[in-house]
């Protein structure tokens, strides 16, 4: 059991939360040329077009947009 918050998890460490093992997720990178009219987010409460729609079905892994481009930027 590690109680220090600064401990860096290393490959091969057995990490568990409430007894359930946590596994490292696979990293997948996508490069997207965002068209104008879409915002760089996976969900928008205002119903605007977002990159989630463009990336739908691209991966089974969770996708995280990196960087922010406004709606009109390509």
Active-site annotation, residues: 70
Q: Which residues of 5-27 are buried (b: 16+ CB within 10 A; e: fewer)?
A: eeeeeeeeeeeeeeeeeeeeeee
What is the distance between the alpha carbons of residues 64 and 58, in angstroms, rounded to a whole number? Answer: 12
């Amino acid at each position: 059991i590690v109680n220090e918050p600064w401990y860096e998890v290393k490959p091969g460490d057995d990490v568990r939360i409430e007894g359930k093992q946590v596994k490292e997720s696979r990293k997948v990178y996508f490069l997207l040329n965002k068209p104008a009219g879409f915002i760089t987010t996976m969900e928008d409460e205002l119903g605007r077009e977002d990159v989630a729609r463009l990336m739908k079905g691209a991966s089974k892994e969770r996708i995280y947009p990196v960087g922010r481009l406004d709606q009109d930027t390509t």
